[in-house]
Structure 1
Amino acid sequence: MTILQIDSSITGDNSVSRVLTRSIVEQLRAASPGANIVARDLVDEPLDHLTLAAFADTAVLDEFLDADTIVVGAPMYNFAVPSQLKAWIDRIAVAGKTFHYTDEGPVGLAGDKRVIVAVSRGGYYDADNSFEHVEAYLKPMFNFLGIEPEFVHADGIAVGPVQREAGIASGLAEVERLAA
């Protein structure tokens, strides 16, 4: 089993999404002690924005295709995913590899993968909030690839220190429930 950990938060050790991705990976490793962990930090090793030349490099796509489980850290920046994460998604959404078009519409080809997304948000947002474009983007994006992603959330982390700790505790509790 191969677990691919994707981190995209710019806040380093202060990152809540990184706390959650580490916890998720630890839970997965405990369940599969022989798992191969591949970590990609999109801040320390940023991907260029998509160009035809960059599209020719399939290393990121191959890494995704080789993974059985993908753990994605997705902090909310300005109501959406970080541009670093969008650049990664642009590398994995490849016609003929992770989806294809038919006369009836697109068909995802990556449905044999498990994707767990750790969402951290400074305020309080639910899926119906018109400002929430993290889960609202990632769910249909992964569905397009044939994957039903699972989400864990840490909300209210920029409201104040008490709310931050409560958001982290809530997110970690979701990780525990996910592992159970």
Structure 2
Amino acid sequence: MTLLHLDSSLLGDASVTRHLTQRIVATLTAAHPGTTVVRRDLAAQPPAPLDAELIKVVKFRDLTDLTARQQAELALTDTLVDEFLAAETVVIGAPMYNFSIPTPLKAWIDRVAQPGRTFRYTETGPQGLAGGRRVIIASARGGRYAGTPAETAFDHQEAYLKAVMTFFGIPEVEIIRAEGVAMGDEARAAALAAAEAQIQALV
């Protein structure tokens, strides 16, 4: 099995999602000896957010008269897409930041959303091209949202990631969730214990 391990938290060793992705990857690799793990730390080496210079080449594939920066960013984009499509399992660390996802993870999505590779447009609408792989999202939230009235209004993190993966042709996304981690030591410990139980159930 080939596994792509993505982290996006900016908190380093204090990150809950980094702890969760490490546990998920360790559990899966123990259950599947010989697994090849490709790790990409999007916070340590963040893809550049798209700007006027990059969007023409990264999103619209206009390859005329490329600058050195555009050439480098095009190569990075193709590498990120190749990594994603080569993986049978993708583990994504995605904390909630201001009700959404970290900037480096959004930049990664902007690169991987490539017409003709991860999706295409047809006469009947968009069609995902990246089906057949397992996606597991390690989610952390300071407050509690799942199953509450706040979920509909404020969850632009898990809901967004599920929508993106569905667009890519992966409608079934597994969520390992630790929420309420900023609500005191007891709540944090309970959240991590619940997430650990979810991790053990992955195999």
Normalised-by-shorter TM-score class? over 0.9
Root mean square deviation, CA, Å: 1.2
**Shift of the alpha carbon at 1:92?**
1.0
* 1:129 equivalenced with 2:152 (yes/no): yes
* 1:158 equivalenced with 2:182 (yes/no): yes
Q: Which residue in the other structure is 2:28 paired with?
A: 28
Query: For structure 1, which segment, 118-127 or 80-89, has the greater mean C-alpha deviation from structure 2 after superposition?
Result: 118-127
Q: Which residue in the other structure is 2:169 paired with?
A: 146
Aligned AA (1:156): G
Deviations 1:3-39 (A, max 9, x none): 0000001111111111111111111101211010111
**Shift of the alpha carbon at 1:126?**
1.4
Q: Secondary structure at the match of 2:24?
A: helix
Q: Which residue in the other structure is 1:79 paired with?
A: 99
Aligned AA (2:175): F
TM-score (norm 2): 0.85
Q: Which residue in the other structure is 2:64 paired with?
A: none
TM-score (norm 1): 0.95
Aligned AA (1:95): P
Matches within 5 A, 1:64-143: 64-126=84-146, 128-143=151-166
Structure 2 gaps, min length 5: 58-69
Q: Which residue in the other structure is 1:6 paired with?
A: 6
Q: How far, CA to CA, are the matches of 2:196 and 2:100 in structure 1?
A: 22
> Matched residues, percent identical?
50
**Shift of the alpha carbon at 1:129?**
3.2
2:201 to 173, 177, 180: 177
**Shift of the alpha carbon at 1:42?**
0.7
Q: How far, CA to CA, are the matches of 1:96 and 1:56 in structure 2?
A: 15
1:61 to 69, 72, 81: 81
Q: How far, CA to CA, are the matches of 1:121 and 1:137 in structure 2?
A: 15
Q: How far, CA to CA, are the matches of 1:91 and 1:31 in structure 2?
A: 31
Q: How far, CA to CA, are the matches of 2:49 and 2:91 in structure 1?
A: 22
Q: Secondary structure at the match of 2:154?
A: coil
C-alpha contact (below 8 Å) 1:2/1:67 kept by paired residues: yes
Aligned AA (2:89): T
Deviations 1:45-64 (A, max 9, x none): 11111223366221111111
The list of structure 1 runs, each at least 4 consecutive aligned residues, that deviate by more than 3 angstroms after superposition, is none
Deviations 1:135-178 (A, max 9, x none): 11001110000012111100001111111111111111111122
Q: How far, CA to CA, are the matches of 1:32 and 1:92 in structure 2?
A: 27
Structure 1 gaps, min length 5: none
Larger radius of gyration between Structure 1 and Structure 2: 2
